[in-house]
């Protein structure tokens, strides 16, 4: 999974591990056991959309600022998984077929992600898929999922 830790601006991170007790290099090892997806309000166009999607299932927690490593319940993680699964299906139905790029696995199928600026839906697809996979792993392995918002 893509790992981000931002020093400037508002950010949110969804992860399968706490982050406040770790340094960023803990997340970048070649065999890192931690998975996270992070978004920065000042640089990432996905930030407001992802925050709005989180508010569908965890409205109180997603509306807070200055929270770190809030453990989400199994029901909340299931809600997140379902919402991002819904959004992935929607994007798969409306996106144009990529001409070049790299492959990711989406619902156990290889999907070519377009790296050109003309394919913003593919950027959302990758991000939504990463969040979906973190939630799915947490549910399958009976592990907690954590939310941090600054």
pLDDT tens, the chain, 150 aa long: 444 444 456 788 888 888 776 655 555 444 445 677 677 666 677 888 999 999 999 999 999 888 889 999 999 999 999 999 999 999 999 988 888 888 999 999 999 988 776 667 888 998 999 999 999 999 999 999 999 988
Contact criterion met (CB below 8 Å) for 54 and 80: yes
**Which whole-number Å values give the CA distances from 70 to 28, 78, 132, 147, in the listed order?**
22, 16, 18, 5
Q: What global pTM score does this model have?
A: 0.83
CA distance 115 to 122: 8
């Amino acid at each position: 999974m893509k790992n981000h830790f931002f020093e400037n601006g508002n950010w949110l991170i969804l992860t399968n591990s706490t982050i406040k007790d770790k340094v960023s290099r803990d997340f970048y090892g070649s065999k890192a056991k931690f998975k996270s997806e992070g978004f920065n309000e000042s640089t990432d166009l996905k930030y407001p959309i992802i925050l709005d999607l989180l508010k569908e299932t965890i409205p109180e927690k997603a509306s807070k600022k200055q929270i770190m490593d809030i453990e989400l319940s199994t029901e909340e993680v299931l809600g997140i998984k379902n919402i991002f699964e819904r959004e992935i299906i929607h994007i798969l139905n409306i996106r144009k077929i990529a001409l070049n790029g790299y492959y990711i696995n989406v619902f156990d199928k290889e999907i070519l992600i377009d790296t050109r600026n003309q394919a913003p839906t593919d950027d959302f697809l990758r991000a939504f898929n990463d969040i979906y996979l973190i939630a799915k792993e947490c549910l399958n392995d009976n592990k907690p999922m954590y939310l941090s918002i600054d």
